[in-house]
Chain A
Amino acid sequence: MAIYEQIADEVVKGQADAVKELVNQAISEEISAEDVLNNGLVAGMNVVSKKFKNNEFFIPEVLVSARAMTAGLEILNPLLAEANVKSKGKIVIGTVKGDLHDIGKNIVGMMLQGAGYEIVDLGADVPKEKFIEFTQKEDANVVGLSALLTTTMIYMQEVIQGLKDAGLRDKVKVIIGGAPVTQAYADQIEADGYAPDAASAIDLAKDLLD
């Protein structure tokens, strides 16, 4: 089995230590960091993403795989920066103010990262000021807002208004998700897109950025 396939396979199995070892081996064999990323780590996460979409993988398995991918990425990141390799886009993501639920947001973030996007995760209970600050600071292409409660999802509108007031709304796409959120609500608050699940969030990001 070629080293890329081995890396992808260990990502799927969620074996962080094996991924680290193989990534180091690939680098020592002078394979480019970009190739290791795309053909090994991202390829592995693509398999995970597909399995999750087809209901073949459980949520904790996705996160165990994400941990393995992250372990490899930590080794590659300085090399990617050195080689000036660009990500597919930068996405600022967070659960809105008042809401401490972050499982859905974490899965979406991990799967987007696995699909080759750079993720700036602001965590849970995030005020609009922080979304605005990081959108500006990181020159983000997309802002992803998550909420699990009907009482907190209304804050998404405030974030969008905040981005408008800061003059950032035309520069950034806003995507939303979470159990109580619907396409109708996305339309109502003028978000650019709504994803009912993590796999759809990847498709949505691709549609908006490609």
Chain B
Amino acid sequence: MIGIFMNNSGKEGGRVQAGQIPILRVDADTIPRAYEQAIREVWEKGISIRTEYDRPEDPPSRDATVVIVVQEPFAQPRFHRSFADGLGGLAEYVMEVVHGAHDYWVKPLEEILKGTESKDTRWTYTYHGRLFEYRVEDLVIDQIDAMINKLAATGYTRRAQAITWNPKLDPPTEDPPCLQRVWGRLCEDEEGGYVFNMNTHWRSRDLFKAWFENVIAITTLMRTIAEEIGKKINSPVRVGRYADISDSLHIYGSYFREIEGDPEKGIKSFFDKLESRTFEERTWHSDFVKSHFIDDGLGKGLKPMLEREMEMPEDVRQAIARELRSMEQDDYIV
């Protein structure tokens, strides 16, 4: 075990020496608030530990087991401005998770089975592929449809879940899925209306550069599930609180320069950047984001995606075109 753990710089204390991974909890009203609080928590209280992705010169990552609760995933402002893509790219990622826009980028099974020996650089999985088309021997199972049916029949069931992990395909690959499980349940509010609560469980998670985009996509899926249950039970189902549970939520060592800044060179730390602006100035409302989701003017977004990705299967293309039409309506919230 020598060499795995390292002390946090400048900190004394028992966490690392005791060999215990901290368990942190973040509770926020909106997604951007949750994102900022989680970064502060993991940065201040996480342990330092190596990851398989570190380059030799990188310091160890800051890491913790973290439970994050977002009370109102579609409350505004819904978008933080800190993520590693543009708004058009984020829109395409949402289409990838919710509609399977990039399932056709997954390599054939025989290549996946070669593990790290495979020279094929296409992907080994997508979340949509695993959730909507999970393969067990000769069966292909739409787990999200099963969740919807289960919850429509018995809203209080504890059995509505979808998994991603494939014990045959995933251990040998270099890049196995981070999301492991989606679980949901219906509750009633004070007026007797239905509320869909959803939990997601993640094996590992890049907090600084992936968490926010993951959550925008997965809460869009959450809303889709709620709407589909509503159609089946002929009653509206409201999106409730979203709980996000990561075994390892981390800030990679390679990001520390960006987090810490370099005052001598006039480079701000991430936290100074946050503090130098109001919350409004470091977030965006869905109204602003929507036109960028449709077309960001730089070749990304739903319209350019449909024009660019001609190999996308027709049913997926139609689903994205429907999403685009909905997005063009005034009351649609991205």
Contact = CB atoms under 8 A, between A and B. Distances in A.
Contact of B86 (A16, A63, A71, A149): A63
Contact of A152 (B55, B81, B121): B121
A64 interface: yes
B258 A55 contact: yes
Interface residues of B, number: 32
Given A55-B267, A66-B298, A67-B296, A103 B121 contact: no
Given A67-B297, A121-B299, A60 B81 contact: yes
Contacts of B267: 53-55
Contacts of A106: 86, 89, 298-300
From DSSP, what is the main secondary structure of chain B's interface residues?
loop
Interface string A62-100: 011011001100000000000000000000000000111
Contacts of B82: 58-60
Interface residues of A, number: 28
B4 to A, nearest CB: 22
Contact of B298 (A55, A63, A98, A149): A63
Contacts, number: 71
Contacts of B88: 63
B276 interface: yes
Contacts of A58: 81-83, 273, 282
B276 A61 contact: no
Interface string B86-102: 11111000000000000
B270 A103 contact: no
B185 interface: no
Contacts of B84: 59, 103
B269 interface: yes
Interface of B: 55, 81-90, 105, 119, 121, 254, 258, 261, 266-270, 273, 276, 282, 292, 296-300, 308
Interface of A: 16, 53-56, 58-61, 63-64, 66-67, 70-71, 98-100, 103, 106, 110, 121, 123, 149, 151-152, 179-180
